[in-house]
Structure 1
Amino acid sequence: MHDHLDPKDHRRLGRELDLFDTDRLIGAGLPYWLPDGAAVRHALEEYVREVERRAGYRHVHSPVLGKRELYEISGHWAHYGEDMFPPMRLGGEEVVLRPSLCPHHAVIFRSRPRSHHELPLRMAELGGMFRSELSGVLGGLTRVRAIQLNDAHIFCRPEQVAEEVRSALALIHRAYRALGIEPARHRLSLPAEGGKYVADPEMWRRAGRLLAEALDEAGVAYEAEVGEAAFYGPKIDVQVVDRAGREATLSTVQVDFHQPARFDLGYIGADGARHRPVMVHRAVIGSVERAVAHLLEVHQGAFPAWLAPVQLLVLPVSEEQLPQAGALVREAVEQGLRAELADPRAGTLAARVRGGRLVPYQAVLGAAEAAERLVSLRLRDGLRLGPVPVAEALGLINDQVEAGRSGG
């Protein structure tokens, strides 16, 4: 069915490498993740959570459902309704699968009294959301109906907005270095005349000016583009290009004066009076699905070691070394590595080496190595090390994995 696809297309690669697949009983635009794909996804999610934690974000969890009234207040119902799933009747109420996380985060912010001392308050969540995409545009991981979004909302004082936007951009660029992603361009997305946008010209001018200043101060070249804004405010879109030359948005930073007003958000300022916060929306890697699709095409399955589904493949030369090989796999797993055994009963050593060509590290165990608790390492780039002690080999791999995760 996918024979017509470019061999380097993520949809073809994802199936060939057993990362994800689809089934008509689950439905179009609803891919499921196989163990190797889930491993990549989890490594990516853990990386993002840790990067955010170190940048001063606190993580929350919120439900994927909300009452219709929530989205009427936020403006999604009026401005974004055709992209939402139809409401479900629940007694006398209607509940909706959420099309975005921001209304939930606005409600969490206002659930407690807030002081200016708490701001900026950076609230992050890797959360599910749903878009009722037409079946004709669905494909692979890039256009899906169930999305796991790396989302965050920063509630801050107006004078803190520019610095928070700059910090969000720096976080995005740092993640791209660790992931091996090259942004194609940065876009300042503005509203079009007569579109489905919140009508408040001064708000749009003010928000657009703040984003443009942040881009200028960060030294980032950008192009203004009319008609690509969110309904509630302008945004910076970080654009990437796929193998077919199609451009897509991966990461965003948005300034929102609208939803804080709609939800009547407030904090007590230094003057003792109540003030309205500004909401900065940002996504470092955007949706996990689109990020994995792009990374799959960028790396063609040869992911950076920290992201690879299997980081270490242990290859005993013969069945005699199976006990030592099994022990090495267990030791590697205990140290936090994703390690697997390439069973000698599954083929010759050469065939197993070829089969694991995308794995960053291969550890070959022959009779001499097994007797001395040594291992010969093969790196994906063809470099060979060894024989070296097992502890030294695992230490080297762990160091390399951590260096890559840090963007080093």
Structure 2
Amino acid sequence: MPNDKITITFPDGSEKQYPKGVTGYEVAESISKGLAREALSVTLDDEILDLDRPIERDGTITINTWNSEDGKYTFWHSSAHLLAEAIQELYPDAKFGIGPPIENGFYYDIDFGDKSVGQDDLDKIEKKIIEKARQKSGFERKPVTKEEALSFYKEKGNEYKVDLIKDLEDGNITFYTQGDFTDLCRGPHIPNTGLVKAVKLTNVAGAYWRGDVDSEQLTRIYGISFPKQKLLEEYIHKMEEAKRRDHKKLGKELKLFMMDQMVGQGLPVWLPNGTIIRRTLESFLREEQKKRGYKEVITPHIGNLELYKTSGHYPYYRESQYNPIQVDDEEYMLKPMNCPHHHRIYSNELHSYRDLPLRLAEFGSVYRYEQSGELNGLSRVRGFTQDDAHIYCTHEQLKREIKNCLDLTQFVFSIFDMPVDIRLSFRDDNEEKYGGEDEYWERAEREIKEVADEEGLDYKIARGEASFYGPKIDFIIRDAIGRKWQLGTVQVDYVMPERFDLTYIGSDNEKHRPVIIHRAPFGSMERFCSILIEHFAGDFPVWLAPVQVKMIPIADDFNEYAYQCAAKLKEHDVRVEVDDRSEQIGGKIRDAETSKIPYMLIVGGNEAEDGTVSVRRHKEGDIGTFDFSDFISNLIDEIDSKRVPDHSNSN
């Protein structure tokens, strides 16, 4: 008699048997009716499923609600279909491309033919979406053959869907229908459209079909949706706060960096104030790396094309790199990555197992070609600096070195009061995206997961997000207003030792391959600084502030005392300026506040006579009069401890 039971494992490790064919909704209802009401989908192992999909096999299940990433993914995926349904009714001749959920919301690429749809049209589309949502239409899943799918879209004259279907495998194609709209889709979707209570279409942009600049340009409509109107209101408030914190705006106001057309698009120029922040961050990480046994190196800004062909960066990332430069009878490239240079440093001498691990670090500038429409201040540039390090170790040392990298990366982000989410980025089934042997990939993924489990990390596995040479641990930080940014990474690499024929002599006097760990806590220094500016809204902690103290004499008679105080502060490497302008004291204070200088020291006759300073703290106002030597002692303690101010309401 066939086994008609399956075993479902829950996130806490508990197990329960259910009849084969049980739905995700029924599993949720067996836990509680409240959970079933809140459920949007389920994740079975790594696959997100509709709540009404029958479950035919054993597996680990997670019930996805709005408060989970997979729940939001499902919600926003369904909202993209709602957008398309609304567009279909308002613009019957529109042809649809792709409409995926994204990190915050969704979009749909649409060919409106000879009609022009822009920002002014979004309001009526929003109203139509809500009208359709209120019909509470269910999402009906229907498997179709490849022939049926092609016939359906050829009849509609939609060459975009036909193009997508040609790449799909027969037997794995599904349509979803809600209301009067049917779409090519693999799912999943929420139970019905009525769960969408609020929607905001945020932007209209152009997008080339499949990213090919030689193909048709479509209209991309971005949006976001919520199960409650209150959540939309909170989102709008957050977006207003994000505008106020925009690093491009603050970068100009605080004189941190500039973009100059004559220098070139996407090539930031660091001004003195921004350079102080950059160098301070680099010094901080350099000191930590030194404590942890790293050796710093410097490599050129260009390299021979053969170097990047050997590494695989040229064939795998060719589209994002600058064209080779002809020099005599050789070709050179602007350096796209630091890794190959470090591998050649390793090859420069013979290594014994006693030399390992070898940890090489560099703040190395690299260059990538980004389309002009994708450039965005410091966060998306064409030239940037990576805090790269490569650790060459034995297989026996690998897990310990990964743990050391995790410790360093988590320490770095804790300094900035940034909560961290962990993602294990593994490969998917598209073998063309990856290099190396299957056995190495399987081993690397297993070892990364073992380390994550041993360290008690709360992580999510993301298939298809690995680098071409190996799986990685990605660190996603959350800033002061809750936005997520993917920053640091730790990657395990069995591929490059083969490509570069890297070896060491083992204790058996035989040659062995080392394993490489690629590690970058900050990632791109430019991007990290853009996030840091917005995280602190320009109100940097004292240790990072370009100007830490502003001396403000109340009259010219007290300039000398102000300069005496400044000189003593400089002896302690405090970054201090004296405002000796013949301006009203109120104006000087306002200017210092606008510049977000942490401390203002007001000095006049009493202070000069008593050896004191009247202290104002940015955003807090007057905090009292202090003996100057006590103030210095307290300030140095704050700088050394890298204390972080409350930045949630920074002005």
Instruction: Measure, in 2, the Cα distance between the counterparts of 1:363 and 1:84.
Output: 50
Shift of 1:193: 2.7
| 2:433 match: secondary structure | coil
Question: Which stretch of the first structure deviates more once superposed, 185-194 or 258-267?
Answer: 185-194
Aligned residue number for residue 455 of structure 2: 218
Aligned twin of 1:95: 332
- Aligned match of 1:187: 423
Query: d(CA) in 2 for partners of 1:113 and 1:383?
Result: 61
2:586, 2:450 → 1: CA distance?
57
What CA deviation, in whole Å up to 9, does each residue of 1:141-168 have, x standing for no partner?
1101111111100000011111111111
Q: In structure 1, the residue corresponding to 2:414 is in which secondary structure?
A: helix
Cα distance in 1 for partners of 2:301, 2:510 equals: 35
* Candidates 368, 383, 387, aligned match of 2:606: 368
Shift in Å at residue 16 of structure 1?
A: 1.8
Tell me the CA shift for residue 169 of structure 1.
1.0
1:354 CA drift (Å)? 2.7
The answer as to whether partners of 1:265 and 1:277 remain within 8 angstroms in 2 is yes
Report the equivalent of 1:380. Answer: 618
Residue 642 of structure 2 aligns to a residue whose secondary structure is: helix
Per-residue deviation at 1:307?
0.8
- Structural mapping, 1:239-250, within 5 Å: 239-241=476-478, 247-250=484-487
Distance 1:227 1:36, change over 3 A: same
Letter in 1 for 2:331: E
Residue from 4, 17, 36 that aligns with 2:273: 36
CA drift at 1:406: 11
CA-atom RMSD in angstroms: 2.0
Cα-to-partner distance string for 1:350-408 (whole Å, 9 max, x where unaligned): 2322322322222111111112332222233527555333332222211110011799x
* 1:288 matched residue in structure 2: 525
How far apart in 2 are the matches of 1:238 and 1:82? 26
Q: How is 1:349-360 mapped onto 2 (pairs within 5 angstroms)? A: 349-357=585-593, 358-360=596-598
Which amino acid is the alignment partner of residue 355 of structure 1?
Answer: D
Q: How do 1:241-280 and structure 2 match up within 5 A?
A: 241=478, 247-280=484-517
Structure 1 residues 243 and 361 mapped into 2: Cα distance closer, same or farther (>3 Å)? closer
State the alpha-carbon separation in 2 of the partners of residues 302 and 197 from structure 1: 43
State the SS of the aligned residue for 1:400. Answer: helix
Q: Which has the higher mean CA deviation after the structures are superposed, 55-64 or 189-198? A: 189-198
Please say if residues 147 and 287 of structure 1, whose CA atoms lie closer than 8 Å, have aligned partners that are also in contact. Answer: yes
Letter in 2 for 1:314: M
Bigger CA radius of gyration:
2
1:7-406 map, 5 Å: 7-183=244-420, 185-194=421-430, 195-241=432-478, 247-345=484-582, 347-357=583-593, 358-380=596-618, 382=620, 384=622, 386-404=624-642
CA distance in 2, matches of 1:198, 1:8: 41
2:206 aligned partner: none
Kindly state the Cα deviation for residue 245 of structure 1 after the two structures are TM-superposed: 7.1
Matched pairs, number: 402
Structure possessing the higher relative contact order (Cα contacts under 8 Å, 6 or more residues apart): 1
Q: Are the aligned partners of 1:47 and 1:405 in contact in 2 as well (CA < 8 Å)?
A: no
Q: 1:62, 1:406 → 2: CA distance? A: 34
Once the two structures are TM-superposed, the CA of residue 117 in structure 1 deviates from its matched residue by: 1.2
Identify the range of structure 1 (138-147 vs 245-254) with the bigger mean alpha-carbon deviation.
245-254
How many angstroms apart in 1 are the aligned matches of 2:354 and 2:375?
Answer: 45
Tell me, in whole angstroms, the C-alpha distance in 2 between the residues paired with 1:17 and 1:119.
Answer: 45
Residues of 1 paired with 2:376 and 2:614: CA distance?
A: 42
Q: Retained in 1: the 8 A contact 2:402–2:490?
A: yes
TM-score normalized by the length of structure 1: 0.93
C-alpha offsets along residues 173-208 of structure 1, whole Å, 9 cap, x if unaligned?
11111122222x211112233242114221111111
Q: Secondary structure at the residue paired with 1:186?
A: strand
Distance 1:232 1:212 in 2: 17
TM-score of the superposed pair, with normalisation by structure 2: 0.59
- Output the CA distance in 1 between the equivalents of 2:419 and 2:569: 32
Partner of 2:129 in structure 1?
A: none
Q: Distance in 2 between matches of 1:269 and 1:307?
A: 45
Judging changes above 3 Å, is the alpha-carbon distance between structure 1 residues 352 and 135 closer, same or farther for their aligned structure 2 residues? Answer: same
Q: 1:385 to 1:7 in 2, by over 3 A?
A: closer
The 3-state SS of whatever aligns with 1:159 is coil
Letter in 2 for 1:99: P
Give the conservation status (yes or no) of the 8 Å contact 2:436–2:494.
no
Q: 1:42 Cα deviation (Å)? A: 1.0
Rounded to whole Å, the distance in 2 between the matches of 1:361 and 1:87 is: 50
Residues in 2 aligned to 1:128 and 1:406: alpha-carbon distance in whole angstroms: 29
- Displacement after TM superposition at 1:69 (Å): 0.6
Once the two structures are superposed, residues 20-74 of structure 1 have per-residue CA deviations (whole angstroms, 9 ceiling, x without a partner) of 1211111211111111111111111111111111111111111111100111111
For residues 159 and 383 of structure 1, the distance between their equivalents in structure 2, rounded to whole angstroms, comes to 56
Is the 1:19–1:33 contact (alpha carbons within 8 Å) kept by the matching residues of 2?
yes
* 3-state DSSP of counterpart to 1:250: strand
Runs of 5+ unmatched residues, structure 2: 1-239, 646-651
**2: CA distance, partners of 1:180 / 1:351:** 33
Describe the SS at the equivalent of 1:211: helix
What is the one-letter code of the residue matched to 2:397?
Answer: Q
